[in-house]
């Protein structure tokens, strides 16, 4: 029986993936900063047929308790097969309006927490003979995007760390899937940081018209099961990834003209 740990599991892509794994009878360990929303998601997973659900609420902006969190996730069902590091926070500010405190907060949640969890899990996974780590990046981690200076930086950084992790430990059974969403219909824009570090509070048109989270989850779970190195999740906006690869100058010009909301 598969055991899956998902961070950022109380809404959006994380919750949709949790529900899909639940319908397939997996054991689930769910983490999010909101205990109330997390328990609601856990109850939905129980109703959908999860073999077991453990709830571990935690604010990933606090690095002090990461090792204890990993221990709790690992021991909840006697080990982990798949870990999906999905938690993250975005922004809606220009470089001038993005304070260093905001940059550090976004990097802590999006990058350092995922790195810390992966490093703490690695010896446990290796001792067990391997395991699969999926991590949510973004198309904003493939090219710079207006109003996303810290968010984009954190997602670029995830590519560097997790591609290296797989290169070093592939032969020892560690598999990595980089989940690269474009616009998916979630509440990420509502919780994105605006000027002064306050929540943006608006569902941006790009998010509202994005791929439904349930369809995104189906693609993600399928890609993880197939051992894909990377999966692009979205609609027409994903074309920008290929434009950046083959026509970087054109990508730069298009990025300057894109509506960032």
Q: Which residues are catalytic?
A: 151
Output DSSP code: residue 247: -
Q: How far is CA 171 from the centre of its chain?
A: 25
Per DSSP, what are the bridge partners of residue 179?
136, 231
What's 158-222 look like in SS3? HHHHHHHHHHHHHHHCEEEEEEEECCEECCHHHHCECHHHCECCCCCHHHHCCEEHHHHHHHHHH
Report the alpha-carbon angle 146-159-42, nearest 5.
Answer: 90
CB 151 within 8 A of CB 140: yes
Exposure string over 156-189, b if 16+ CB within 10 A, otherwise e: bbbbebbeebeeebeeeebbbbbbbbbbbbbebb
Count CB atoms within 10 A of the CB of residue 259.
8
- Cβ-contact 40, 117 below 8 angstroms: no
For residues 108 and 104, give the distance between their C-alpha atoms in angstroms, rounded to a whole number.
Answer: 6
């Amino acid at each position: 029986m598969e055991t899956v740990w998902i961070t950022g599991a109380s809404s959006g892509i994380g919750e949709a993936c949790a529900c899909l794994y639940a319908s397939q009878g997996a054991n689930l360990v769910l983490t999010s900063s909101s205990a109330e929303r997390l328990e609601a998601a856990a109850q939905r997973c129980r109703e959908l047929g999860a073999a077991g659900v453990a709830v571990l609420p935690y604010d990933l902006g606090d690095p002090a308790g990461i090792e204890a969190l990993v221990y709790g996730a690992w021991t909840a069902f006697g080990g982990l097969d798949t870990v999906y590091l999905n938690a993250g926070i975005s922004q809606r500010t220009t470089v001038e309006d993005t304070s260093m405190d905001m940059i550090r907060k976004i990097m802590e949640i999006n990058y350092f927490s995922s790195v810390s969890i992966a490093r703490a899990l690695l010896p446990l996974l290796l001792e067990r003979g391997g395991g699969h780590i999926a991590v949510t990046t973004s198309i904003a981690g493939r090219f710079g995007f207006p109003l996303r200076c810290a968010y984009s930086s954190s997602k670029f950084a995830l590519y560097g760390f997790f591609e290296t992790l797989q290169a070093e430990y592939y032969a020892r059974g560690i598999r990595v899937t980089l989940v690269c969403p474009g616009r998916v219909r979630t509440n990420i824009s509502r919780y994105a940081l605006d000027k002064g570090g306050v929540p943006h509070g608006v569902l941006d048109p790009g998010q509202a018209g994005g791929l439904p989270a349930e369809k995104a989850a189906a693609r993600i779970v399928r890609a993880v099961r197939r051992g894909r190195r990377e999966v692009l999740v979205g609609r027409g906006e994903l074309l920008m990834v290929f434009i950046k690869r083959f026509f970087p100058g054109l990508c730069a010009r298009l990025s300057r003209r894109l509506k960032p909301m």
